[in-house]
Amino acid sequence: MVVVDSSIESKGALQWALDHTVQNQDTIILLHVASASKLGKFTTFLQVNQRARDHLSSIKKNLQIKRPEVKVEIEIRQGKEKGPIIVEAAKQERVSLLVLGQRKKSLIWRMRTMWAGKRSKNRVVDYCIQNANCMTIAVRRKNKRHGGYLITTKRHKNFWLLA
């Protein structure tokens, strides 16, 4: 299962999963979680779900062209707390691997949270890593110049994988 939205981080996580974990005859589930807090005054869940479904259908079509031997499924969930929703979806689908994209925070943001003594805002990723029943991997591209990925799991934090 790969958590997908419109961010570059989720695209990188999907690409990493395709390159490093997905094999022929596997099934990959594209999960999108629509957050209730991001709904505007005039936006409904139906509109958000339709945009998400269109986006996921486009990704599915591209994956089926690139990797026709891999079965692709789409799932959309909605709610306020993304972490518990993702963990529950992984549990219900009995996935063996959950892949999430992880965002690098700016130096100023990291300094401010350290100074204020606040917890990391990467709570969704941390929650999923700590609470999912399956192997959970957070993926972040290191940088364009050196390449590779930073991988975070329950046992490794920011492990650099040059691939």
Q: Is the pLDDT of residue 154 over 90?
A: no
Instruction: Considering only residues 96 and 118, tell me which one the structure prediction assigns the higher pLDDT.
Output: 96
Q: Answer positive or negative: Cα dihedral of 55, 57, 58, 59.
A: positive
CATH number for the domain spanning 100: value is: 3.40.50.620
Which of 15-29, 46-60, 143-157 has the highest mean predicted lDDT (pLDDT)? 15-29
Tally of domains in the chain: 1
Average pLDDT, the chain: 83
Q: Is the pLDDT of residue 42 over 60?
A: no
Mean pLDDT, rounded, for 70-83: 92
Domain interval for residue 71: 2-161
Confidence class for position 156, pLDDT limits 50, 70, 90: confident
Cα→Cα distances 15→21, 25, 117, 137, Å: 10, 17, 34, 13
Whether 163 contacts 142, CB under 8 Å: no
Supply the DSSP symbol for 145: T
